[in-house]
Amino acid sequence: MSKPTRGFVGRPHAARSNRLPPGQYDTGRDFPTLTAEATPRVDPDRWTMTVDGEVATPHTWTWADVHRLPASEYRGDIHCVTTWSKFDTRFGGISVDLLLEAVTPLPTATHVLATSTTGYTTNLPLEHLAGGKAWLVWTYDGKPLPREHGGPVRLLVPHLYFWKSAKWITKLTLLDHDVEGFWERNGYHNLGDPWLEQRYHGD
């Protein structure tokens, strides 16, 4: 454990919460944005979502196609590696399970590389995208997802640090091995579990 810092008391105990993973603080009503790139303008009419790689039948959906799938909502907390957490968020879209079921992952598929329209990538073990853990979302609090938060559509994997929830998602590629994504190559942890405080490479 770290040595105490002279003179540091920290927030009052009442402001701390067992809903906060270690090292996180409650950002309250703020919803900070953190992106490494220029915010793109993604036209929903030209946007597509592809799931390919180690699958039986790769498939590409249009904006209209994904909206015809049964809706699903996430209500809960999100955690950013830059130490803010936001409680009681509400995102609407579809479960990633629907996309995976449609393409039938091959038994060899173990990992996924998510790619955004900007070229941003992030990698996840397949088991962290399947089984009700991940969504494709296009609303926040019932309204269209703002561009700076990844609108018109982003990946949502709320049990991991938020850089895994790729903004402006356009593709999931199933792989039979792990490939590091953007932040994973740039000093951040490969999995990013906030409860294990897996922030940086080597944590």
12: Cβ contacts below 8 Å, ≥ 6 apart: none
Q: How far is the CB of 70 from another protein (least distance, A)?
A: 27
Q: How far is the CB of 73 from another protein (least distance, A)?
A: 25
Helix (H) or strand (E) holding 64: helix 63-68
Of the candidate residues 82, 90, 144, 196, the single one contacting another protein (CB under 8 A) = 82
Query: Residue with structure tokens 């994973």?
Result: 184
- E runs forming strands in the chain: 25-26, 48-53, 59-62, 72-79, 84-95, 111-116, 121-125, 135-140, 143-144, 154-156, 169-175
174 sits near another protein (criterion: CB under 8 A): yes
Between residue 110 and residue 169, which ones bind another protein under the rule CB under 8 A? 113, 115, 118-121, 148
Instruction: Please state the length of the chain.
Output: 203
185 sits near another protein (criterion: CB under 8 A): yes
202 sits near another protein (criterion: CB under 8 A): yes
Q: Residue 152: is the preceding peptide bond cis (ω within 30°)?
A: yes
Of the candidate residues 165, 173, 189, 192, the single one contacting another protein (CB under 8 A) = 173
Residues that bind another protein (CB under 8 A): 1-11, 16, 22-23, 25, 27, 30, 32-40, 50, 52-54, 58, 82-84, 113, 115, 118-121, 148, 171, 173-175, 179-180, 182-183, 185-187, 200-202
